[in-house]
Amino acid sequence: MLRSLRIISPSGFNRTRPRLFSSLRSLTEQDVSHLASILPSTPIISTFSPFNNSKDELDSFNTDWMKKYHGNSTTVVKPRSTEEVSQIVHWCWENRVAIVPQGGNTGLVGGGVPLKDELVINLGNMNKIRSFDPVSGILVAESGCVLESLSEYLAPKGHIMPLDLGAKGSCQIGGNVSTNAGGLRLLRYGSLHGSVLGLEVVLPDGTILDQLSTVRKDNTGYDLKQLFIGAEGTLGIVTGVSILTPAAPKALNNVLLAVPNFSKIIPIFRTVRAHTSEILSAFEFFDRTAYEIVCRHGHRRPFQEDIGDAQCFILLETSGGRKEHDEEKLNDLLGTLMNSEENLITTGVLAQSPFQFASIWAMREGITEALTKEGKTYKYDISIPSGSFKDVIDEIREHLRAQGVYPEGGVKAVLGYGHFGDGNLHLNVVTDGYSPKIASAIEPRIYEIVSRYRGSISAEHGIGSHKTGVLHYSKGEVSRAWMKKIKDLFDERGIMNPGKVII
């Protein structure tokens, strides 16, 4: 029977965690020499001799993008082939050495950094495109390909990736699959559970599972690949991805709307849907606090007119086949919104050039980074009914006020933005610094609220190490028990990303 010990999570929220590492051992100098023999052409980064890297040189692998989660790995390997990954993993299995698979390390829940001194297997060197079929649009790529580089590869071929996110310049397709990343195109192209057609995965004992199918239809029993989509590296290491890429739209337009208050957003959404129907590809929301922060950190204010006390903003994008047709629809839409009796919008800007189009998107995509310049941010990525976004933000703000941490006491701002069209709110609490007092003021209250709405505590970022102790707010006992059985079935020795997702 597993015994438990009491720990404080990186967010400061108390929870219990079984003795995950008790049957696992740390790497030694001899082990690292052996790993080097598996990877003769790739330098290992290790504090052990003969590599003698400093702790600082391992810092970017031991720390996440937000600088919130910190591990103590002594060694990072960067294999170049599936065979090399398989050999390393097999050795770890035999020797009971824990592994953290790592992609671009842009994850926001601590899944990609060690909890202790696990071996980091970084996939950055597995960055080759294996094939692209221009007829079907099916791309097969190694897992370490950076999302943006895949988009650049596809652009001259008239295709796009079915997902796009603010971290595209660093995140890798293997990381995207492993987190089941959502992002800015989900409204149009659906989730990776639909667009990923096949995967190649190195299982915890080193076996290579080849499910790299390039067919759209395959009803030959259990669809094993689905288990690895969103598994956050707890069931195996994704080394190859086969993905359906849509044809690039011929006409792209976007519009930024300033909206007097939140109550107008649902009528706007309905109006937008009615006018744009099949060409609507994004409907993103951000509140005034998010807008002010992103403008404060370098983004030009987009509106020429005074926006008064507009409380929210909507970025909507259309992508279609014929520019004139789409522009006609958008002009009709804007006319309807401007002249609505309910005063649905304060004002709006329609991008007039590729530069304006990009700068409207840059504003929305820049919010996450702007928050890092404002302070240390507690990020909650929740699914709730879209109409309740404001109520939830307000409830948390008032709760923090009642707890005496806002507006004085460490919390600088409570704000929301996100994928309104998908019911996905990014609720962010910006603080002077991470502290157990603030963390325990926010959690578990935020999860209780989500549970009240029967929502999800993680719409797209995953569970990582941050939310293992609160999974029960979204997954019942039976679901958790089956998740654990699946984890144990694949990884009975518990070497694959221990302490993440399900413990």
Ligand X SMILES: Cc1cc2nc3c(=O)[nH]c(=O)nc-3n(C[C@H](O)[C@H](O)[C@H](O)COP(=O)(O)OP(=O)(O)OC[C@H]3O[C@@H](n4cnc5c(N)ncnc54)[C@H](O)[C@@H]3O)c2cc1C
Nearest approach, Cβ of residue 323 and ligand X (Å) = 27
Strands (E), 369-448: 376-383, 411-419, 424-431
Among 79, 166, 198, 249, interactor with ligand X by CB under 6 A = 166
Pick 115 or 449: Cβ nearer ligand X: 115
Q: Which residue is nearest to ligand X (CB)?
A: 175
Residues 409-468 that bind ligand X (CB under 6 A): 460-461, 464
Among 124, 162, 182, 348, binds ligand X (CB under 6 A): 182
Q: Which residues contact 50 (CB under 8 A, 6 or more apart)?
A: none
* Phi and psi torsions of 101, nearest 5°: -70, 135
Count of CB atoms situated within 10 Å of the CB of 137: 18
Residue 76 touches ligand X, criterion: CB under 6 A: no
Q: Which stretch binds ligand X (CB under 6 A): 167-175, 329-337, 448-456, 478-486?
A: 167-175
As a whole number of angstroms, the distance between CA 485 and CA 198 comes to 23
Length of the chain (residues): 503
Token digits for 107? Answer: 């994850």
Kindly state whether residue 291 participates in binding ligand X, applying the rule CB under 6 A. no
Q: Tally Cβ neighbours within 10 Å of residue 486.
A: 15
Determine which residue in the list 13, 65, 361, 434 makes contact with ligand X, applying CB under 6 A.
65
CA distance 393 to 371: 16
Segment (H or E) for 337 = helix 323-338
Looking up tokens 């239809």 gives 217
Q: Which lies closer to ligand X via its Cβ, residue 110 or residue 348?
A: 110
Give the residue with the Cβ less far from ligand X, 173 or 330.
Answer: 173
Instruction: Determine the Cα–Cα distance for residues 175 and 497; give it in Å rounded to an integer.
Output: 13
Residue 75 to residue 55: CA distance in whole angstroms: 10
DSSP 392: H
Instruction: Show the site string, 326-365: x = touches ligand X by CB under 6 A, - = not.
Output: ----------------------------------------
Write the interaction track for ligand X spanning residues 362-391; mark x where CB under 6 A is met and - where it is not.
------xx----------------------
Number of H helices, E strands in the chain: 17, 18
172 lies in the site for ligand X, by CB under 6 A = yes
Residues 225-254 that bind ligand X (CB under 6 A): 232-233, 237-238
Q: Tell me the closest approach of the beta carbon of residue 176 to ligand X, in angstroms.
A: 4
Residue 99 is encoded by which pair of tokens? 């592994």
107 sits near ligand X (criterion: CB under 6 A):
yes
Neighbours of 489 (CB within 10 A): 10
CB of 326 to ligand X, least distance (A): 24
Does 281 bind ligand X (CB under 6 A)? Our answer is: no
Using CA atoms, how far apart are residues 302 and 310, in angstroms rounded to an integer? Answer: 14
Identity of the residue, 229 or 310, whose beta carbon is nearer to ligand X in the bound complex: 229
Q: Select 225 or 500, whichever has its Cβ closest to ligand X.
A: 500
Q: Is 108 in the site for ligand X (CB under 6 A)?
A: yes
Is the CB of 103 or the CB of 348 nearer to ligand X?
103
Q: Cα Rg for the chain, rounded, in angstroms?
A: 23
Exactly one of 79, 104, 410, 499 binds ligand X (CB under 6 A); which one? 104
| Nearest CA among 184, 415, 196, 166 for reference residue 311 | 415
The footprint of ligand X (CB under 6 A) covers 65, 100-108, 111-112, 123, 143, 165-167, 171-172, 174-176, 178-179, 181-183, 232-233, 237-238, 368-369, 460-461, 464, 497, 500
